[in-house]
Structure 1
Amino acid sequence: MVVGSSPPAGEEVVMSGMSGRFPESDNIYEFRDNLFNKREMVTENEKRWKINHPNVSKRSAHIDNKLDAGHFGLHYRQAGNLDSALRVLMETVTESIMDAGVNPLELKSSKTGVFIGFSYSVVENITFAETAESQKFVVTGYFKFLFAHRLSYNLKLKGPSFIVDTACSSSGNTMYLAFKSIRSGECENAIVAGCNLTVHPGATIQFFRYKFHIYKDSNFFVTFLA
């Protein structure tokens, strides 16, 4: 048992709300039911891309990506240039607050921190390269440091707000930092989220190739998992 793991009464930190998007599941309850019913959520289809490459599986997982731009006060030009991961993040964060029994408007000016685990966007560079016309707000739609700030701004929060990028451990470290922030009194509440979307086959190809290096070099295997 770790010393200090059992706080005194009234000092507990609890998870009060939750939300998420998962393959073929619009929320955590659908995801739970799909798992319990042993439904196959990774399917063979061409919703995202049609590619014939030996390193890209024919099977993939998909989620719905819908956004009520007006609800979040987004200009239509910005809504059209917004990372898909951020779209999902904005909606699921709002849902998790409501799942906790809190009206998002009640958090205005509160010491609520926003801690987001996010490593990379596979469409950021492509979007920058292809965007030549004016009046397209690509920087504010794809730069990952703005993922947390946009949530804080939209909800009018006064707590810490930042992105955690430690690759595969990003979400775990995000939870750890949020816990420490609450314990220290830096914030009263914390919004903790992790997001990752692979919407370009290039990422799949790269990770497939890394697999062979892992098997060949045990030192790289240890470093990669760390």
Structure 2
Amino acid sequence: MGKQSDLTGFEIAIIGMDGRFPGAKNVEEYWENLVNGKETISFFTDEELLEAGVDPETLADPNYVKANGFLENSDYFDSSFFGYTDREAALMDPQTRIFHECTWNCLEDAGYCPSTYNGLIGLYVGASPNFEWEALTLFSPEINMLGAASAQLLIKKDFLCGWVAYKLDLKGPGFTMTTACSTSLVAIHEACQGILNGECDMALAGGVSVTVE
């Protein structure tokens, strides 16, 4: 690339993508859903919500939204493929597991392998707070087996970027960021800045938001 002052941003090309969405396991299916106007959000009756444990007072609130989006197979993860033990994978935030898969698929879509690529690949990512997951794993026996400190690195979403970069051998800059609803957009912006500033030759950017019910 030329000098930073000569760059406009149009020099950057999108060469690979991946994503997981309600009703779509990749970006191709997501696009088809958009083209065909397919509804992929699930709506629930009061009876279904009561059976699921929703408080009646909450259910009576006119502002309560009786709908949600679900990711299929979000609890599946090939731990050995990414170099984790089953015990580590059991504690890992589902958002971190999914982002491993999407990052791998994105690199595959772009046609690049980090271990053979001579340049620097950066990773810019954001994830939603996952308090439900932290609560669910609080008394997990795996915590005692791995140790509290090691377990927290898997449970907390803040370490997502470090895990993915390490396991996929990404040697460029890596940042986990949180800016509420704009997180994914900010991640993409920072990735572009990283390329334009010469901090990396290629960058992966995106966000993930998966909560456990």
Do 2:114 and 2:169's aligned partners in 1 also have CA atoms closer than 8 Å?
Answer: no
Match of 1:115, SS state, is strand
Per the TM alignment, residue 128 of structure 1 is displaced from its structure 2 partner at its CA by 4.7
**Sequence identity percentage:** 27
Deviation at 1:157, TM superposition (A): 2.0
Matched, 1:61 2:63: no
CA drift of 1:19 comes to 0.3
Contact 1:98/1:104 (8 A) holds in 2: no
Looking at structure 1, the residues matched to 135 and 103 of structure 2 have their Cα atoms a distance apart, in angstroms, of 27
For 2:140, the equivalent position in structure 1 comes to 131
| Counterpart check, 1:98 vs 2:98 | no
Of the candidates 190, 196, 200, which is equivalent to residue 209 of structure 2?
196
Give the corresponding residue for 1:51: 53
Report the 3-state secondary structure (helix = DSSP H, G, I; strand = E; otherwise coil) of the residue aligned with 2:161. Answer: helix
CA RMSD of aligned residues (A): 2.5
Q: 1:169 to 1:125 in 2, by over 3 A?
A: same
Displaced runs of 4 or more, over 4 A: 3-7
> Pairwise mapping of residues 55-204 of structure 1 onto structure 2 (< 5 A)?
55=61, 56-64=64-72, 65=74, 66-107=76-117, 110-131=119-140, 134-136=144-146, 138-200=151-213
In structure 1, what residue type is equivalent to 2:80?
Answer: G
CA distance in 2, matches of 1:122, 1:37: 35
Aligned-partner SS, 2:95: helix
Asked whether the equivalents of residues 129 and 157 of structure 2 are also in contact (C-alpha less than 8 Å), the reply is yes
Q: Residue 184 of structure 1: CA displacement?
A: 1.0
Per the TM alignment, residue 131 of structure 1 is displaced from its structure 2 partner at its CA by: 2.8
User: Could you tell which deviates more after superposition, 60-69 or 70-79?
Assistant: 60-69
The TM-score with structure 1 as length reference comes to: 0.76
Equivalent position of 2:22 in the other structure: 23
Who is 1:204 aligned against? none
1:44-69 residue CA offsets vs partner (Å, 9 max, x unmatched): 3679x813331553322111212111
Kindly state the Cα deviation for residue 158 of structure 1 after the two structures are TM-superposed.
1.7
Give the Cα–Cα distance (whole angstroms) in 2 for the partners of residues 68 and 186 of structure 1: 31
Post-superposition shift, 1:29?
A: 0.7
- SS of the residue 2:167 aligns to: helix
Instruction: Determine if the alignment matches structure 1 residue 37 to structure 2 residue 25.
Output: no
TM-score by length of 2: 0.80
How many residues are aligned here? Answer: 193
* Equivalent-residue separation in structure 2 for 1:176 and 1:57 (angstroms): 32
Structure 1's unaligned 5+ residue stretches are 201-226
Separation (CA, whole Å) in 1 of partners of 2:95 and 2:114: 21
Task: Tell me the SS of whatever aligns to 1:198.
Answer: coil
CA spacing shift, 1:70–1:129, aligned 2, 3 Å? closer
1:3-14 paired onto structure 2 within 5 Å: 6=8, 12-14=11-13
